[in-house]
Amino acid sequence: MWLVFALISGAFYTAQGLITRNILRGNKDAWAFSFYFSAVGALVSLPFMLANIKIGTQIAPWALMIVVGCLVVLQNFLSFKSANTLEASLQGSITKFRLVWVFLLGIIVIHEQFSLLKLVGTLTTVLAGSIILNKFRKPSSLTGVAFAFTATIVYGIIIILYKYLFSSFNSASLTFFIFLIPALLNVIIMPHAFERIKTMFREQHVPVLLACGLGGFANLAMNQSLAMGEASRALVIIEAFLVITLIGEHLFLKEKSHLPTKIVAVGLATLGAILIRIV
């Protein structure tokens, strides 16, 4: 059964990434989209949280949850902003760097065990990133690459903090609040928030709600797959869907430039991610 949830998660993440790129390319409002991603994700995960509630009862876990919520706002903004100028397959390749930071921070901060296989995966992923940086040197492309890389660093920090939050929250409750808190923070800190939110809904409500809904369900399916005790195999399958992203981008979004570079980068990034995840 874990395999079914892993396949669903990978398929939904792939579809969400392609639709998101289609929505945001051309410098569309990434911050308003970030609000919808969090708000719809909270709505999707709410029934699952209510069916199995486990939340912290002390101040410290909630304070940490708010800190993580702020980091998620930053990570989402950077990630979606990169989609303005960066194709989905390239963004997905760079996103694999989050596993590098999780690996390094895990060793440094929480003293996780070193693995030679993970080190090889890390170096392979770094090679994929180097190929992308070497090929895409236009200012607009470099901006997207910089946003995507920075988002992976923030994500790595978030994942390490998750390990502390799981002592007070279960996966369903953590998923809900990690969507809800950023949605509320976006409304508070985004300039002209209500006007921008209404504009995006008026212009693109169908693809926006579809992409965000797919993202929410993909996250839930991944958590369910991990909860069944087959974490390594499930994550390997989900990571491998980046290859499908490249195919979908070529066929449906008609983004066919630099195809050889994309194939090499996607292949190396996927291999690196699998080597990091497989242990």
Q: Give 149-214 as a DSSP string.
A: HHHHHHHHHHHHHHHHHTTTS-HHHHHHHHHHHHHHHHHHHSTTHHHHHHHHHHHHHHHHHHHHHH
Would you state the pLDDT for residue 192?
A: 95
Alpha helices in the chain (DSSP H): 2-24, 30-51, 59-82, 88-95, 97-109, 116-135, 139-165, 171-189, 193-227, 231-240, 242-252, 259-277
Please enumerate in sequence order all residues whose Cβ is within 8 A of that of 132, keeping only pairs 6 or more positions apart, or say none: 90, 93, 94, 145, 261, 265
Q: Percent of the chain having pLDDT more than 70? A: 88
Give the model confidence (pLDDT) of 85-104 as tens digits: 887 777 777 877 777 777 77
Separation between Cα atoms, residue 215 and residue 45, nearest integer Å: 11
Q: Which residue has the higher pLDDT, 223 or 212?
A: 212
Residue whose C-alpha is closest to residue 91's, from 143, 135, 149: 149
If pLDDT is split at 50, 70 and 90, which confidence band does 229 have?
low
Going by the DSSP 8-state scheme, the letter that residue 26 receives in this structure is: T
Give the model confidence (pLDDT) of 99-154 as tens digits: 777 777 777 776 767 777 777 777 787 777 777 666 665 545 678 888 998 998 99
Cβ–Cβ under 8 Å, residues 20 and 95: no
Cβ–Cβ under 8 Å, residues 268 and 125: yes
Give the model confidence (pLDDT) of 151-200 as tens digits: 989 988 887 888 788 888 888 888 899 999 999 999 999 999 999 999 99
If pLDDT is split at 50, 70 and 90, which confidence band does 272 have?
confident
Cβ–Cβ under 8 Å, residues 220 and 176: no
Give the model confidence (pLDDT) of 233-252 as tens digits: 666 667 677 777 777 777 77
Would you state the pLDDT for residue 188?
A: 95
Separation between Cα atoms, residue 193 and residue 142, nearest integer Å: 28
Cβ–Cβ under 8 Å, residues 29 and 257: no
Going by the DSSP 8-state scheme, the letter that residue 29 receives in this structure is: -
Would you state the pLDDT for residue 105?
A: 77
Mean pLDDT of the chain: 83
Residue whose C-alpha is closest to residue 73's, from 50, 41, 100: 41
Separation between Cα atoms, residue 210 and residue 228, nearest integer Å: 27
Give the model confidence (pLDDT) of 4-46 as tens digits: 887 888 889 889 988 998 899 876 899 999 999 999 999 999 9
